């Protein structure tokens, strides 16, 4: 029995010395709940931060939190719409566990003055509606740029790029080589050519541009 007693005493002394050496005796497991001071309702997802340690946690959806800190540390509670609160862990605690109920007070917001004007008359509303210049959105701009008339104007006015010019030149060379050594056919008697000519005449392709 004496050996067992001395062994137990040695283990207790070693454990106490280890806690004192590594600073475990200063550690505190702090648990608690954050509530509203006026309704005593729990506040979910409140930020709990220790500035000295640059670490923290958040409360659960029931307002409960748990964090490891040291005796004498200051905890800051912050939540949107509520004033920040600070809690100092007592430095004279005799245990390594501590519980707290933190109450937070709603903050008051002062908004800028809002001027409410009377409703416009029917005549004023119609005038404002018809004269108001509403800019086109991206969809309306894309629709206007892809209209048939717009595409025709762009096709007639924009110069050809290098790829189009190269393609036209290659087609001319290929057509010339195709009829090499013989007389190319005359398209003046071709019904398809005359049909294309009349279509171009109706479209006004040969109209003199001012």
Residues 113-161 have pLDDT tens digits of 787 777 778 887 788 778 877 778 888 888 888 898 888 888 888 888 8
Query: Does residue 15 sit in the same domain as residue 93?
Result: yes
pLDDT at 156: 81
- Does residue 191 sit within a domain? no
Residue 137 lies in a domain: yes
- Report residue 194 as tokens: 């005359």
pLDDT for residue 77 is more than 70: yes
67 and 160 housed in the same domain:
no
Kindly state whether residue 125 falls inside one of the protein's structural domains.
yes
Residue 185 lies in a domain: no
Domain span at 66: 2-104
Q: pLDDT per residue over 83-114, tens digit each?
A: 999 999 998 888 888 999 999 998 877 777 78
pLDDT of residue 200: 83
Task: Please tell me the predicted confidence (pLDDT) of residue 7.
Answer: 47
Considering the chain, what percentage of its residues have pLDDT values greater than 70? 86
pLDDT at 1: 57
Is residue 160 domain-resident? yes
Q: Is residue 64 located within the same domain as residue 141?
A: no
Residue-level pLDDT at 132: 77
Average pLDDT taken over every residue of the chain? 81
Residue 183 lies in a domain: no
Residue with tokens 């171009």: 200
Task: Check whether residue 128 and residue 80 sit in a common domain.
Answer: no
Q: Which long-range contacts (CB under 8 A, 24 or more apart) does 12-16 make?
A: none
Our count of domains for the chain comes to: 2
- Whether 195 maps to a domain, the answer reads no
CA atoms within 13 A on the CB side of 152: 6
Rounded to the nearest 5°, which phi and psi values hold at 160?
A: -75, 145
In a domain, 139, yes or no: yes
């Amino acid at each position: 029995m004496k050996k067992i007693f001395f062994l137990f005493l040695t283990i207790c002394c070693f454990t106490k010395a280890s806690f004192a050496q590594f600073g475990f005796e200063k550690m505190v497991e702090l648990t608690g709940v954050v509530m509203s001071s006026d309704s005593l309702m729990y506040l979910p997802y409140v930020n709990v931060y220790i500035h000295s340690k640059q670490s923290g946690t958040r409360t659960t959806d029931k307002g409960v939190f748990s964090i490891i800190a040291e005796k004498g540390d200051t905890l800051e509670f912050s939540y949107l719409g509520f004033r920040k609160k600070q809690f100092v862990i007592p430095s004279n605690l005799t245990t390594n566990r501590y519980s707290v109920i933190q109450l937070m007070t709603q903050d008051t917001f002062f908004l800028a003055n809002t001027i409410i004007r009377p409703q416009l008359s029917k005549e004023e509303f119609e005038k404002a509606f018809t004269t108001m210049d509403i800019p086109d959105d991206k969809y309306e701009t894309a629709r206007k740029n892809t209209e048939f008339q717009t595409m025709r104007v762009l096709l007639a006015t924009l110069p050809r790029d290098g790829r189009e010019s190269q393609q036209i030149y290659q087609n001319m060379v290929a057509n010339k080589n195709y009829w090499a050594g013989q007389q190319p056919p005359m398209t003046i008697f071709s019904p398809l050519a005359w049909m294309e000519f009349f279509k171009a005449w109706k479209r006004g392709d040969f109209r003199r541009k001012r």
